[in-house]
Amino acid sequence: MAASDRLVAVIRDPKSTRTGLIVLLVGAVLSGCSNRQLYESIQYDQKLKCQTLPQSQYEECMEKASQSYEDYKRARDEVIDDERSSH
């Protein structure tokens, strides 16, 4: 089994999502992933977690997990700018 296949298998197992996320983050750092790729990998993991929720929580979870990278980056940059200006 290739390393990428093992990674996908770990991420898809709901019991291993925390482990999968850690493996994913370590892999991203070691492979020099871009911020966008890292964000999209985490977003994918969150969407998998949403699939384990009851329907009453699923829609809200998927909405939160569907924020575009551009929107995330814009909000993140605003927080960083606010923190810098308050110090």
Residue 46 CA to residue 28 CA, distance in Å, equals 16
Tell me the whole-structure pTM to 2 decimals: 0.56
Question: What are the structural domain ranges in the chain?
Answer: 3-86
Write out the chain's pLDDT in tens, 87 residues.
444 454 455 445 555 666 766 776 676 666 656 888 889 999 999 999 999 999 999 999 999 999 999 999 999 999 999 989 987
Percent of the chain as helix, strand, coil, to the nearest 5: 85, 0, 15
Backbone conformation region of residue 6, classed left if phi is above 0, alpha if psi is from -120 to 50, else beta: alpha
